[in-house]
Amino acid sequence: MGRVIFMCGPAGSGKSTVARDYEKQGMTRLSFDTEAWSRGITVMPLPSEVRAEIEHALRARLVELVRAGTDVVLDFSFWSLAMRDEYRALLRPLGVVPETVYLATDRATVLRRIGDRAARDGDDFTLSAELAAAYFDHFEAPTEAEGPLTVLTSAPAATMAVLFDPEPETWGLRGDPHLWRELREHLSATVIPPSAEAVPGLLYAAVRELTGLDLASDPSSSGYLEQYAHGGMSSGMISLDTWRQRLVPLLAERARAGAGERAGERAGERGAGR
C-alpha cells in the first residue's frame, strides 16, 4: 500500500511549499485549493456545497491512488482532530497509517504571508486578515497520541540587518561605513525579500530616504553628507560608485546565499523527521 502524509497547519503556515517538495520526490499531491482553482473558483472560503463536492472527488481519488500503491501527500489544512480522525478511518481498511506533518508556524508569520498573497494560483488564495486570524486561532494542533507526527517549526523571518555582518574590509570613502551602519539600523525590522533580485531596489530606496542621494539616477561618483563628517581626508564623503558597483551587489549576493542555506535547512528538517 502507498504512503500517505497529512499536511497540517493553518492557512499561511507553509503547507503547500512542503507538499510541493514531497511532490518533487515522486508523491502525488491532492489539494482542495488547487482543485477549486482548476474549476475556476478564485475566492475563499468555499461554499459548503462546493467544498463537499470537491472533497468527495478527492476522497475517491485518494482511495484509488492508495490501492494502486501510490504515495500521496494530502495538502489540506487538517485543522481539526475530527477531520484527521475521519481520514484515518477512511485509510484504516486499506492498511495505511498516515503520517502527519505539522507546520508549527507562528501567528505573526502566518498573517504576514497571507497579507503578501497575490492570488496567482491555487496555492496563493487571498484571505482577509480577519479570516486568516480566525483560521489560526481555531486551529487544533495535532499530538503524538494521534499517530506518527513530524513537527516543522518556522524560524522567525530573517531581516535585512543580518546581511550587514560582517562589514567589508575596504570602503570607497570615509563616509561609507557610517552609511552602512545607519542602513543596518534602518532596515533592522525589514524582512529580507523572498527574491534576492528585490534587494538592490530596497537598498536604493533606503539610501535615498536616509541621505537624499539617488544611486539610480545621480551621475556623480560621490556625495557629501555632513552627518558623516567626523574628521580626516574625505570625511563625510560617500562613494556612490562603490555602493553601486560593490556594496549593494555584496548585500544582494548575501541575500541570495542566505536563501539557499535556509532552503537547505528546511529540506534537512524534513528528511530528519521522516
* Measured distance CA(87)–CA(102) in Å, rounded: 16
What is the predicted pLDDT for the residue at 155? 55
Average confidence (pLDDT) over 78-85? 95
Tally of residues, the chain = 274
Q: Which helix (H) or strand (E) is 102 found in, with range? A: strand 99-104
This model's pTM is above 0.75? no
Judged against a pLDDT cut of 70, whether residue 272 lies above it is answered with no
On whether the 4-156 domain is CATH 3.40.50.300, my answer is: yes
Judged against a pLDDT cut of 50, whether residue 265 lies above it is answered with no
Taking Cα atoms as reference points, which of 33, 142, 26 lies closest to residue 73?
26
What is the predicted pLDDT for the residue at 230? 82
The pLDDT mean for the chain works out to 86
32-35, long-range: CB < 8 A, 24+ apart: 32/58, 32/75, 32/76, 33/75, 33/122, 33/123, 33/125, 34/75, 34/121, 34/122, 34/123, 35/122
Taking Cα atoms as reference points, which of 30, 101, 31, 28 lies closest to residue 70?
28
Judged against a pLDDT cut of 90, whether residue 48 lies above it is answered with no
Judged against a pLDDT cut of 70, whether residue 118 lies above it is answered with no
Residue 7's SS3 state is: strand
Q: How confident is the model at residue 267 (pLDDT cuts 50, 70, 90)?
A: very low
Average confidence (pLDDT) over 33-52? 82
Provide the edge-to-edge strand list for the sheet that holds 4-8.
28-31, 72-75, 4-8, 99-104, 149-153
Residues facing 99 on adjacent strands: 5
* Measured distance CA(237)–CA(228) in Å, rounded: 7
Judged against a pLDDT cut of 60, whether residue 68 lies above it is answered with yes
pLDDT digits 0-9 by tens, 155-188? 556 789 999 999 999 999 999 999 999 999 999 8
pLDDT digits 0-9 by tens, 134-155? 989 999 999 999 999 999 886 5
- Highest mean pLDDT, choosing among 156-160, 208-212, 266-270: 208-212
What is the predicted pLDDT for the residue at 137? 93
Judge contact between 5 and 28, C-beta under 8 A: no
Residue with cell 500521496: 72
The domain ranges of the chain are 4-156, 160-258
Average confidence (pLDDT) over 59-81? 95
Judge contact between 210 and 217, C-beta under 8 A: no
What is the predicted pLDDT for the residue at 125? 65
Where is average pLDDT lowest: 32-41, 113-122, 167-176, 249-258?
113-122
| Count of beta carbons in the 10 Å neighbourhood of residue 19 | 24
Judged against a pLDDT cut of 70, whether residue 57 lies above it is answered with yes
* Residue 46 CB contacts under 8 Å (≥ 6 apart), including other chains: 32, 36, 54
- Residue 168 DSSP label: P
Average confidence (pLDDT) over 74-102? 95
Residue with cell 503547507: 15
All three cell numbers of 200, joined, read: 538592490
* Measured distance CA(105)–CA(90) in Å, rounded: 28
pLDDT digits 0-9 by tens, 222-262? 999 999 988 777 789 999 999 999 999 999 999 988 765 54
Residue with cell 480577519: 130
What is the predicted pLDDT for the residue at 24? 86
